[in-house]
Amino acid sequence: MDELILIGVFLTILLFFLGSGIWVGISLIGVSVVGMFLFTSRPVGDAMATTIWSASSSWTLTALPLFIWMGEILFRTKLSENLFRGLAPWLNRLPGGLLHVNIAGCAIFAAISGSSAATVATVGKMSIPELQRRQYPERMIIGTLAGAGTLGLLIPPSIILIIYGVTINESIAKLFMAGVFPGIMLALLFMSYVVIWSLLNRSRMPDPDPPASWGLKIRAFMELAPAALLIIAVLGSIYLGIATATEAAVLGVIGAFLIAAFQGSLTVESFRESLLGATRTSAMIALILAGSSFLSLAMGFTGLPRGLASWIGELGLSPLTLIVALTIFYIVLGCFLDGISAVVLTMAVIEPLVRQAGFDMIWFGIYLVVVVEMAQITPPIGFNLFVLQGMTGRDMDFIARAALPMFGIMILAVVVLYAVPEVATYLPHVMSQPTR
């Protein structure tokens, strides 16, 4: 099969580039250049420039640097302590203690942010130093963050659900509703894992703080006010029709500045630092996105993803085997592509296949998001891993191993989603009733 040879060549070159230590974005550009020279007759460099220009100047991405900037500002406010003082008394006595703050924090931020990397960056910025100071095991800090950060894609607003909805002509409003319960479910699964792990590894967990009185708990709750106001500013502005999902990020930046000013942490120096920090992180992500958009083009020219997808189609599988096969397919693809590219490149062939097998397309969208979410935490190309590498300075293999259990939990979530599709379909179904 030609596809197998193609995969082999792409994989070998990419793994060699990445493994030898070449910067990720450059490696992606490199493997695409080599792949296109080998397998197509098109002008490589011109096509590269066209694609990267348009992908990197795309309006839908503008929310990303702004959300990163928001995170940088919030990092320099007391919001980090607020969030901890707010969530800690409530979650402290759970087995696993403040690790749950990581997951709850990501779930909360997912309701502001449409992307997974931005959620990890924003929440991690606040929680990594706090958890490290309390001597939680490094592996669990990183693992829970990597996993829970993917909630940014599942809990609305979500960039990838918008792209999926537009690609296959399904209601984005319904897709957003469909993501709510699976998002909460996944968060609860992550928390259950933390509970079980900490019960089995008591010796590696720090001693919990003494239990908090109800008075303290209520006062702690008030600490969450700034975060809550920010969510209201961002989500509220979207649902009240003041701003679109892309534009709302700037209200997050303004909200963050207001919080900083109110708490007295807004100085010329903190402004400068937050701005330059956001610029660096955005540039880092932009170089990788540029490379990844070019790799998508190179693969599109070789026809590899489409070839693979149609090959799966020819096997004539039952619904269950189809889902199993698709899951494996997207996990493998997700090792090398970002979720958005994986969806865009394959939906043309996958959509008729899935419709023919009788799946609800809203349900399939949620399934797809969970599956491509896994791509965020699988090496060698996993955005959450890169962000965490940038934030902790740990090795990629350490971070990937830390995230591995979360990968298993997401597979479990796919199983639950398959067995009980109502988790995804109930809410949009209820929502569509009165319109008829």
Partner 1 sequence: ADKWDMPLAYSATNYHSENAIRFAAAVTEATGGALEVVAHPSGSLFKGDEIFRAVRTGQAPIGERLISALGNEDPLFEIDALPFLATSFDDAWKLYVASKPAMQELLSEKGLMLLYAVPWPPQGLYNKTPVASAADMKGVKFRAYNAATSRLAELLGAIPTKIEASELSQAFATGVADSMISSGSTGYDRKIWEHVKYWYDVQAWLPKNMVIVNKDAWNDLDAQTQGIVLGAAAMAEQAGWAKARELSDWYKEKLAENGMTVEGPSDQLKADFLKIGETMTAEWEAKAGEKGKAIVEAYRAK
Partner 2 sequence: MTFLRALERGLDRLYLLSGYLAALFLVVLGVLIFISIASRALGVYMAGLTAYSGYAMIASTFLAFAYTLKSDAHIRVELFINRAGIRLRKGMEIWCHVVAAGFGSYFAFYSIRMVWVSYRFQERSEGSDAILLWIPQLAMALGTTIFAISLVHSLVRVLITPAAEIRRAPAQEIGH
Q: Which residues bind partner 1 (CB under 8 A)?
A: 40-43, 46-47, 50-51, 54, 59-60, 162-163, 165-174, 238-241, 244-246, 296-297, 300-301, 303, 306, 344-345, 347-349, 351-352, 432, 435-436
Q: Of 49, 188, 261, 420, which one interacts with partner 2 (CB under 8 A)?
A: 49
| 274 is an interface residue for partner 2 by CB under 8 A | yes
Mapped onto helix, strand or coil, the DSSP state of residue 143 is helix
For the CB of residue 246, give the shortest distance to partner 1 in the complex, in Å: 7
Q: Residue 117 or 342: which CB sits closer to partner 1?
A: 342
Q: Are 82 and 220 in contact (CB under 8 A)?
A: no
Least Cα distance to 107 among 178, 164, 163, 156 occurs for 156
Mapped onto helix, strand or coil, the DSSP state of residue 49 is helix
Least Cα distance to 163 among 418, 358, 338, 377 occurs for 338
Q: Which of residues 146-175 bind partner 2 (CB under 8 A)?
A: none
**x/- letters, 9..48, toward partner 2 (CB under 8 A):** --------xxxxxxxxxx--xx--x-----------xx-x
**Which residue's structure tokens are 């993917």?**
150
Interhelix angle 79-91/214-223, rounded to 10 degrees, is: 150
For the CB of residue 428, give the shortest distance to partner 2 in the complex, in Å: 28
For the CB of residue 49, give the shortest distance to partner 1 in the complex, in Å: 9
What is the gyration radius of the CA atoms in the chain, in angstroms?
Answer: 22
CA–centroid distance for 403 within its chain: 13
Contact partner at residue 389 from Na ion, partner 1, partner 2, none, CB < 5 to 8 Å by partner kind: partner 2
Q: Which of residues 219-258 bind partner 2 (CB under 8 A)?
A: 237, 242-243, 246-247, 249-251, 253-254
Q: Residue 279 or 432: which CB sits closer to partner 2?
A: 279
**x/- letters, 107..136, toward partner 2 (CB under 8 A):** --------------x---x-----------
First vs last C-alpha separation in the chain: 49
* Residues found near Na ion in the complex (CB under 5 A): 110, 152, 155, 158, 334-335, 375, 378, 381-382
Contact partner at residue 110 from partner 1, Na ion, partner 2, none, CB < 5 to 8 Å by partner kind: Na ion
For the CB of residue 59, give the shortest distance to partner 1 in the complex, in Å: 6
Q: Are 330 and 342 in contact (CB under 8 A)?
A: yes
For the CB of residue 383, give the shortest distance to partner 2 in the complex, in Å: 10
* Contact residues for 162 (Cβ-Cβ < 8 A; gap 6+): 60, 114, 172, 175, 245
For the CB of residue 66, give the shortest distance to partner 2 in the complex, in Å: 6
Q: Which of residues 390-429 bind partner 2 (CB under 8 A)?
A: 390-393, 395-397
Q: Which of residues 288-307 bind partner 2 (CB under 8 A)?
A: 288
Contact partner at residue 170 from partner 2, Na ion, partner 1, none, CB < 5 to 8 Å by partner kind: partner 1
21: exposed, middle or buried (Cβ count in 10 Å: 0-12, 13-18, 19+)? exposed
Q: Residue 63 or 385: which CB sits closer to partner 1?
A: 63
Contact partner at residue 173 from partner 1, Na ion, partner 2, none, CB < 5 to 8 Å by partner kind: partner 1
Q: Of 40, 263, 265, 279, which one interacts with partner 2 (CB under 8 A)?
A: 279
For the CB of residue 301, give the shortest distance to Na ion in the complex, in Å: 22
Contact partner at residue 141 from partner 2, partner 1, Na ion, none, CB < 5 to 8 Å by partner kind: none
Would you state the structure tokens that stand for residue 221, as one six-digit string?
Answer: 């709750």
* Contact residues for 63 (Cβ-Cβ < 8 A; gap 6+): 113, 114, 115, 118, 159, 245, 246, 247, 248, 249
What single string gives the DSSP state of each residue in 210-266?
A: PPPPHHHHHHHHHHTHHHHHHHIIIIIHHHTTSS-TTTHHHHHHHHHHHHHHHTT--
For the CB of residue 201, give the shortest distance to partner 1 in the complex, in Å: 44
For the CB of residue 108, give the shortest distance to Na ion in the complex, in Å: 10
Q: Are 64 and 112 in contact (CB under 8 A)?
A: no
C-alpha–C-alpha distance, residues 18 and 385, integer Å: 14
